[in-house]
Amino acid sequence: MIHIPNLLTATLLSSALLAGPVFAQVETAPPNAPDQTPAFEGQTRAPTPAEATAVSTEVVADGLPHLWAMEFLPDGRMLVTAKAGAMHIVSEAGNAGPEITGVPEVDSRGQGGLLDVALAPDFETSGLIYFSFSEPRDGGNGTSVASAKLVQDPGNNTGALEDVKVIFQQTPTYNGDKHFGSRLVFGPEGELYVTVGERSDVEPRVQAQDIGSGLGKTFRIDVTGAALTDNPFVDTEGALPEIWSLGHRNMQSAALDGEGRLWTVEHGPKGGDELNRPEAGKNYGWPEVTYGVDYSGAPIGEGITEKAETEQPVYYWDPVIAPSGMAYYEGAEFPAWDNSFIIGGLVAQGLVVVHLDGDQVTSEERIPLQARVRDVKVGTDGAVYAVTENSGSSQIIRVSSGS
């Protein structure tokens, strides 16, 4: 077992903007957009907590294919998706079974592949799972969601998908290999939230502002893929009725909080990763309003960060953490993390923990894992499990208290 303390330095801020004791900012690197200022205090560069969290890490599974997502099965085993298009069941001892049969074809070029997986709320009786993937189609591809029954043999970690149904397709189809999203989150009433991307390129990304397009949106559907009758645009002519919120870039992180509300973190441009709490019918700005700049260093659009018709992020990062995977923490292993979101960092190469007071971020800390973190889950033991990726392979790392 490897012991890793929180390695942040304790350089004190000279600013007196923070009430009470003044702690170090978690981010010390210069922003990519130094002329941009937050819309309110605490929207970015939050201080570290008063006490750093010491953790211990243990590799639970090694030598896995390039994974994208993980979900715990009720018996403690792990169902994982591999980007190239395979599913596996991993035992509690870290042994991966053979490929689960019945997985549909995926387009794994670029950022595409087999993406998220979620157990149906009634999984223990129905055996149903839901998964998202970049679906090859005439003229290109797009993010789709499928349901299937997982038939498994607990004795040898084998399994098969039966009665596979594509229940939802992001449209329009686009011939690209970037910004597919995607996370799947079941809400408290059994509703299914689906996050997607806006396909990155300059021409299609403007459709994030178009309620007749499925690019750059959060969707809210039932288990058959149909729009919920109380969705915000069900009665709007020309709108996609499945849309819950719009103006998003590329959402690869999503989770419910303790009140059952959806939160997301989306990849920004060069700077501008955003933590949001998407609400019905609201517009989160992209690509007309954003923090950060283009990868070339040029402004995005008019270079504005505020507009009356769009929502401000709860929190943003510049430089980016490159978020992927997210979990809301409730557990005994880390009492100090209660009411916090734990976010996987691809560029941050570790866990990013944001502490909340109500709907505002009060502090942030980084738990380095020296690897790109693709997904995050909280186990029944209260420990945090991180799916990492390095050089085309993956590990599953258990993060527990180091105290």
By annotation, the residues acting in catalysis are 179
| H-helix or E-strand spanning residue 203 | helix 202-205
Question: What span, in angstroms and rounded, lies between the C-alpha atoms of 84 and 22?
Answer: 47
Q: What are phi and psi of 38, to 5 degrees?
A: -65, 155
Rg (CA), the chain: 20
Q: CA quadruple 319, 39, 328, 19: dihedral positive or negative?
A: positive
Instruction: Please tell me what DSSP assigns to residue 262.
Output: E
Question: What span, in angstroms and rounded, lies between the C-alpha atoms of 376 and 369?
Answer: 12
Strand partners, 273: 317
Vertex 356 angle, CA 353 and 357, to 5°: 160
Question: What span, in angstroms and rounded, lies between the C-alpha atoms of 374 and 386?
Answer: 7
Q: Cβ distance 66 to 393 under 8 Å?
A: yes
Instruction: Please tell me what DSSP assigns to residue 302.
Output: T
Determine the length of the chain: 403
In single-letter form, the type of residue at position 22 comes to V
Question: What span, in angstroms and rounded, lies between the C-alpha atoms of 217 and 195?
Answer: 6
Q: Smallest Cα–Cα separation from 129: which of 161, 88, 152, 154?
A: 161
SS3 state of residue 37: coil
Q: Cβ distance 230 to 181 under 8 Å?
A: no
> What is the phi-psi region of residue 26: left when phi exceeds 0, alpha when psi lies from -120 to 50, beta otherwise?
alpha
> What is the phi-psi region of residue 392: left when phi exceeds 0, alpha when psi lies from -120 to 50, beta otherwise?
left
Q: What is the maximal distance between C-alpha atoms in the chain?
A: 61
